[in-house]
Structure 1
Amino acid sequence: MIHSALSYVHFRLMAPVCRAFVRLMTLMISVSVAVSINAQSMVDDTDSQTLTQPEISKETGTSDGEGTGKNADNENDKQSNSTAHAKFAQMLLQHKQQGKPIPLFSQFYHQSSATSQSLINEAYGVQKHYVELRQNNDKHNHKINERIIGYKAGLTSAAGQAKFAVSEPLSGVLFNSGAQPLSADLHRSQFGQLMVETELGFRLNTSVTTPITSVTELKSLVAFVLPVIELPDLGFAKPDISQSAKLTGADIIAANVAAHSFIFGSEIPINHTPDLNQLSVSLTRDGKTINQGKGSDALGDQWQALLWLVNQLIAQGYSITDEQVLITGALGQMLPAKVGQYRAEFGPLGHVNFSVKE
C-alpha cells in the first residue's frame, strides 16, 4: 500500500518534467527540420544562380557576355571600315569624273599599327566599293551603268612586286567603258598618265564560282586566248613629301590597279595555240622596237598567272562568266605612252595596231 502510494506520488512529480522534455524534443526536431529545409533552399538558390551566369568560352577563356561585347565591337569596326571604304571609293570616282589625279589611299589610311597585309586588305575593301559605284553610276543623270567585262592581274613580275613592296600580284576589274576598238586612236589628254602593256587574255568555256585546284583543271576550262594591249592610267596624285611617302601597292589596289582602257585582239581557240610560255611578243612605235617579252614573263608561267587570278577573284567574291576576259599581266615592260603609231606582234596569235596622239 505504501509502495503504491509512493509510486503515485513519484508519477505526479515526474509528469510535468516528462511533458517539458517532450515539448523540448519536439521543438528541437522542428528547428532541425527548418534549418535543413532552409539549407536546401539556399543550395537550390545557388544552383539557380549558377545556371544564369554567363558560360565561359572554352576557346577564348572569356565569358559569353564578354564575347558578345567583343563581337559587337568587331561589328562596329567592320561597319566603320565599310563606311571609310565607301567614302574613299566615292572620292576615287569623283576624281575620275573630274579628271583629277588619283588620290593615294595610303595617305588617307591613318593607322600606325597597320601591317602591310592589313593595309592591302583594306585597299581591296575600297576597290570593291569603287567597283560597285562604277556599276551603279549616275542613275540620276540617266547614264548607262558600267558592266564588268573582264579582270586583270598586275605586278606579275618579281621586279614589279619589289618596287611596290608587295609579295604577290594584284587584281582589278575591267569595265566595258574601257574597251577600245582595233586600230584605236588614243589621246593622252584623256588620261592622267597613259601607259602601254602587251599581255595575253583568256576566256573560259563556263562560269566559275569556286576555286580551281590545279593547272590541269584550269586548262580544261579555257576556251580562247587572245592578244591584249592594256592601257593603264598611272595618273596618281604626288605623294606628300613631308610624310616621306611614295606610291604603294595598296594605293594601286584601291584605285582598281590603275585599270582604264584596253584593246582586245582576235580570239584564238585554245587548242590552236602554241606553248604560251614560249610565245615571243614585241611592240614597235613608228617602226622602232621599244619592248620585247615572252609568255613566261607573267609569274614565270602563263597558266600559274591565270590560276592565281581566277582564285584571287573567287576569294574577292566575284563570279567569272564565260563572256569575261582575264588578262594575266605585262609581257616585257610597262612603258609610258608617247605619241606615235604602234604595232604589237604576238606571233601566231596575230597583231594589234593603235596610235597615240596628244
Structure 2
Amino acid sequence: MDDAHKIQRHGTALRVADGAHVVGHKVGLTSAAMQKQFGIDQPDSGLLLDSMAVDENDRLHIGDLVAPRVEGELAFQVGSDLAGADVSEEAIRDGIASTFLALEVIDSRYGFEGLTLVDSVADNAACARFVLGVSVPGLVPELEGEHLTCTVNSAVAAAGFGRAILGDPIRSVAWLVRQLAAFGTGLRAGDIVLAGAVHASIPLKSGQTVTVSSPRLPQAVLHVA
C-alpha cells in the first residue's frame, strides 16, 4: 500500500509537470454498493486535477478512456485549511464553503475485473473525469437524507441517499483529512472534495447524457460523445 500511494503521487507529479493543477481530492468506495461491486471493504482516495474537469456544456470523448463508468455523488468545496489526524466532524462542517452534486467518471488502466485496493490507489483511486453542478453556498444541512437520482438518457438508472456515504458525507471528508495527515498534508482552502457515490457505478457509453439530481441541489450533467 505504501508503494501504491507513492505511485499515485508520482503519477500526479508527472501530470502537474505537464501543466495540470491539483484542485482537490476524491474519496472512493464509501458506500456499501460500491464496496460490494468491486469486492473492496474500505475507502480510498485520489487527487483531482483541473484537466479532469468536464464542463456540462462540453462533451466527454469516451475514446480517451479504457473502461469508463459513472457515479452520482455529493461534493464540497472547503473554505479553510483542514488538517490533522484528530480532526473533528464539527471542524469539517464549519470548514465547508459550498455544496455540489457531482458526476464522477471512474476508469482503470487495469480494467475493473479483479481490481484490488492497491490497484485502485496506485491508479489515483480510478478517477478519470468529473462534472460539478452549480454550487449552493455553505453546507446544506442533513445531507444524509438527501435523495440523489441518476438518469441515463432521461431513464432512471440508479438512486440513493446521502447516508450511503459512510452514514453521512461529512464523515467521508473527515476520513480524507485523517488519511492525508498520514502523509503530512491536508485540505487547502478552495479544494474540491468528491465525497463518494450513493449507488453502484454505471457503465458509460457513447451517446449517453447522464444527469444526477436531488431535491435541494442543482443537477450535474454529463454528455458523452
What TM-score, normalized by structure 2, do the two folds share? 0.91
Equivalent residues in 2 for 1:51-200, closer than 5 Å? 120-137=1-18, 145-161=19-35, 164=38, 166-200=40-74
Report the structure number with the largest CA radius of gyration: 1
Residue type of the alignment partner of 2:127? A
Match of 1:10 in 2: none
CA contact (8 A) 2:108 2:123 kept: no
Structure with the larger strand share: 2
Residue type of the alignment partner of 1:147? H
CA contact (8 A) 1:212 1:307 kept: no
Match of 1:228 in 2: 102
- Which residues of structure 2 form unaligned runs of 5+? none
Equivalent residues in 2 for 1:285-300, closer than 5 Å? 285-300=152-167
Q: CA RMSD in A?
A: 2.0
CA 1:341/1:167 → structure 2, altered by over 3 Å: closer, same or farther? closer
CA 1:270/1:254 → structure 2, altered by over 3 Å: closer, same or farther? same
CA 1:319/1:355 → structure 2, altered by over 3 Å: closer, same or farther? same
Equivalent residues in 2 for 1:212-227, closer than 5 Å? 212-227=86-101
Match of 1:202 in 2: 76
Q: Aligned-pair distance for 1:164?
A: 4.9
Residue type of the alignment partner of 1:178? M
Equivalent residues in 2 for 1:329-348, closer than 5 Å? 329-338=196-205, 339-348=207-216
Q: Aligned-pair distance for 1:150?
A: 0.9
Residue type of the alignment partner of 1:343? T
Q: Aligned-pair distance for 1:298?
A: 0.9
Q: Aligned-pair distance for 1:345?
A: 0.9
**1:248 paired to 2:116:** yes
What TM-score, normalized by structure 1, do the two folds share? 0.58
The 1-side partners of 2:23 and 2:181 are apart by: 16
Q: Aligned-pair distance for 1:183?
A: 3.2
- Which residues of structure 1 form unaligned runs of 5+? 1-119, 138-144, 240-245
Which of 184, 191, 205 aligns to 1:317? It is: 184
Which of 234, 250, 258 aligns to 2:126? It is: 258
CA 1:158/1:322 → structure 2, altered by over 3 Å: closer, same or farther? same
Structure with the larger helix share: 1
Equivalent residues in 2 for 1:11-50, closer than 5 Å? none
Number of residue pairs matched? 224
CA contact (8 A) 2:83 2:178 kept: no
Residue type of the alignment partner of 1:333? A
Q: Aligned-pair distance for 1:325?
A: 0.2
CA 1:162/1:333 → structure 2, altered by over 3 Å: closer, same or farther? closer
CA 1:212/1:204 → structure 2, altered by over 3 Å: closer, same or farther? farther
Identity %: 28
Higher relative contact order (CA 8 A, sep 6+): 2
Q: Aligned-pair distance for 1:324?
A: 1.1
CA 1:164/1:343 → structure 2, altered by over 3 Å: closer, same or farther? closer
Deviations 1:152-195 (A, max 9, x none): 11111235445655442001001110111123312211111111
Residue type of the alignment partner of 1:296? R
Match of 1:279 in 2: 146
The 2-side partners of 1:162 and 1:336 are apart by: 16
**1:308 paired to 2:178:** no
The 1-side partners of 2:117 and 2:49 are apart by: 21
